[in-house]
Amino acid sequence: MSSSKHLCKALILILSVLVTGCHNNNDGGDDNSGGSSEPRVPLGSIASGGHNFTVLAGSTVTNTGASILTGDVGVSPGTAVTGFFTVDGGPGAVSGTIYQGGAVAAQAQSDLTTAFNDAAGRPAGASVAGNLGGQTLGPGVYTSTSSLEISSGDLTLDALGNSNAVFIFQMASTLTVTSGRQVILSGGARASNVFWQVGSSATLGTTSVFKGVILADQSITMDTGASLQGRALARVAAVTLDSNDIDP
């Protein structure tokens, strides 16, 4: 009888160790799934304080065609906005307020400069160059010393199950998305957590589908039918639109 009791105790101890080990393995797996320590790029008054700029330019905002913009539009230090119904009877529609110069647009531009410098100043991440199309990338910082494009194939950004995961693309020169190409979000990725720091100008080709916040030093051009889930923010020059949908 005594030996039977010892055997039962031994079996219970073994089972306890096995169960504990299983729990530890599961906890470790959960902790490591889709983690990203990279903080978001701060946008300041661009997306707070009652303002929600989807388009911001330094010189002009020009629209052709039936563009639909959800949010505010601003320009500073320039003042010219054309092609919108509430400004000049044009075909474009804006759900928010259009700021043609003034203190609100000036503050948004100041915050854009802060955001641009923040994104550009992040420690260099994985080196990328040329065409990003056809790739699937996880969260983190990606750095190009020249231009980037999405041309041969679409780009997939996979947050690996973490909806707070941040993607930052740093490029010294241009960003070009060719006609019909897409940025696809998967694994819980959110457009508001994707930042494109463009050293010069960005061009979204005809009917392309783009995701993320574009922080361009110079200009942003959206060709006919291109759509953007995010923001088109240009520091120095123009944002040019043609029958586009923009929604943050």
In this predicted model, what pLDDT tens digit does every residue of 62-106 receive, in sequence order?
999 999 999 999 999 999 999 999 999 999 999 999 999 999 999
Q: What is the pLDDT of residue 245?
A: 98
Q: Which residue, among 230, 235, 229, 190, has the nearest Cα to 216 in the 3D structure?
A: 235
Average pLDDT, the chain: 88
Q: Which residue, among 210, 133, 146, has the nearest Cα to 174 in the 3D structure?
A: 146
d(CA 64, CA 241): 6
Q: What is the pLDDT of residue 136?
A: 98
How confident is the model over 24-51, as pLDDT tens digits? 333 333 222 233 579 999 999 999 999 9
Higher pLDDT, 2 or 193: 193
- For the segment 114-121, the average pLDDT, to the nearest whole number, is 98
6 pLDDT band (50/70/90 cuts)?
very low
Q: What is the pLDDT of residue 37?
A: 75
Residue 209 predicted with pLDDT over 70? yes
Distances (CA, A) of 228 to 19, 21, 30, 222, 223: 49, 47, 33, 9, 11
The sheet that has 183-186: what strands, in order across it? 136-137, 155-158, 183-186
Higher pLDDT, 35 or 185: 185
165 pLDDT band (50/70/90 cuts)?
very high
Higher pLDDT, 204 or 28: 204
Q: What is the pLDDT of residue 24?
A: 34
Percent of the chain with pLDDT over 90: 85
> Could you tell me if 175 and 155 are in contact, meaning their C-beta atoms sit under 8 angstroms apart?
no
- For the segment 120-145, the average pLDDT, to the nearest whole number, is 97
> Could you tell me if 187 and 163 are in contact, meaning their C-beta atoms sit under 8 angstroms apart?
no
Q: What is the pLDDT of residue 243?
A: 98
